Structure 1
Amino acid sequence: MIGGAPVVALQGRDLPAAGPAFTAAEVAPGRGFLLLRAALRLSSGQTVDGVVGPPPAQAAQMLDGGPEDFAGNRAFSFGGAILAPYANRIRGREVAGARQIEVEIDNRVVRLPSNWGGKAPGAAQYAMHGLILDAPTAWEQPSPDRALGRLDAGDFGGRWLSQAEMDFEWRLQGGALILTVSARNIGAEPLPLGLGWHPYFALPSGQRAQARLRLPAASRVEVDDYDQVLPTGRLLSTAGSAYDFTAQQGRPLGALYLDDCFTNLAHEDGRVVVELIDPAAGLGLRVTSPTPQVKAVQVYAPLDQTFVAIEPQFNLADPFGAVWPAGTDTGMARLPPGARLAYEVRVEPFEVRNPANF
Structure 2
Amino acid sequence: MATSIRIHDSASGATALVAPELGFNCYAFSTKIHGKTVQIIDAPEDVLTGTHRPSGFGIPILFPFPNRIRDGKFTWDGNNYAVPLSPGKPNAIHGFCYDRPWRVIEKKKDTVTGQFQLSVDDPERRGCWPADFILDVRYRVAESRLECQFRITNPDKKPLPWGLGTHAYFRIPFGAASKPEQCLFSVPVSEQWELQDYLPTGRRLPVENKAPLRTGVRFGTQAFDDVFTGWATDGGTLRSSIIDEQAGIELTQICDSQYFREAVVFTPLGRNAVCMEPYTCVTDVINLEQRDVNAGLQVLAPGQVIQTWAAMQVSPVLA
Structure 2 length-normalised TM: 0.90
1:291 Cα deviation (Å)? 4.4
* Structure 1 equivalent of residue 211 of structure 2: 243
Q: Is the Cα–Cα contact under 8 Å of residues 126 and 132 in structure 2 kept in the other structure? A: no
Match of 1:339 in 2: 304
Cα–Cα, structure 1 residues 305 and 140, in superposed 2: closer, same or farther, change >3 Å?
A: same
Q: Distance in 2 between matches of 1:8 and 1:198?
A: 20
Question: Counterparts of 1:188-199 in structure 2 under 5 Å?
Answer: 188-199=157-168
| 1:105 aligned partner | 76
Change (3 A) 1:320 1:150: closer
| Per-residue deviation, 1:140 | 4.2
Aligned residue for 1:175?
Answer: 144
RMSD (CA atoms):
2.2
2-structure distance, mates of 1:165, 1:231: 28
User: Conserved in 2, the CA contact under 8 Å of 1:291 and 1:344?
Assistant: no
Q: Which residue is 1:42 aligned to?
A: 33
Aligned-partner Cα distance in 2 for 1:293–1:232: 22
Is the 2:160–2:299 Cα contact (8 Å) retained in structure 1?
yes
- Which residue in the other structure is 1:212 paired with? 184
Q: Give the 4+ runs in structure 1 shifted more than 6 A.
A: none
Q: Structure 1 residues 91 and 133, CA, compared in 2 at 3 Å: closer, same or farther?
A: same
Select the residue among 142, 151, 155 that pairs with 2:107: 142
Matched residue type, 1:23: A
Letter in 1 for 2:237: R
Preserved CA contact (<8 Å) 1:258 1:300:
yes
2:60 matched to which residue of 1?
81
Decide whether the 8 Å contact of 2:14 with 2:143 is kept in 1. no
Aligned letter for 1:128? I
Distance 2:11 2:80 in 1: 49
Query: Is the Cα contact below 8 Å between 1:210 and 1:278 reproduced in 2?
Result: yes
CA contact (8 A) 1:285 1:347 kept: yes
Matched residue, 2:248: 282
- Alignment pair present for 1:304 and 2:270: yes
What is the CA distance between 1:173 and its match in structure 2?
A: 1.3
Aligned equivalents of 1:337, 1:231: Cα separation in 2? 30
Q: Report deviation, 1:262.
A: 0.9
Aligned residue for 2:252, secondary structure, equals strand
Question: Structure 2: 5+ residue runs without aligned partners?
Answer: none
Paired position in structure 2 for 1:19: none
Q: Give the 3-state SS of the residue equivalent to 2:136 in structure 1.
A: strand
Report the Cα distance in structure 1 between the residues aligned to 2:88 and 2:49, rounded to whole angstroms.
23
Q: Could you say which residue in structure 2 is the equivalent of 1:184?
A: 153
**TM-score, with length taken from structure 1:** 0.80
The verdict on how the C-alpha distance between 1:40 and 1:307 changes in structure 2, with shifts beyond 3 A counting, is farther
Is the contact between residue 222 and residue 235 of structure 1 (CA under 8 Å) also seen in structure 2?
A: yes
Structure 1, unmatched stretches of 5+, are: 16-21, 64-68, 93-100, 119-124
Q: What SS does the aligned partner of 1:292 have? A: coil
Determine the structure 2 residue equivalent to 1:28.
Answer: 19
* Percentage identity across paired residues of the two chains: 26
Separation (CA, whole Å) in 2 of partners of 1:232 and 1:210 = 35
Number of equivalenced pairs? 312
Of the three residues 73, 86, 95, the one matched with 1:115 is 86
Contact 2:17 2:26 in 1 (8 A): yes
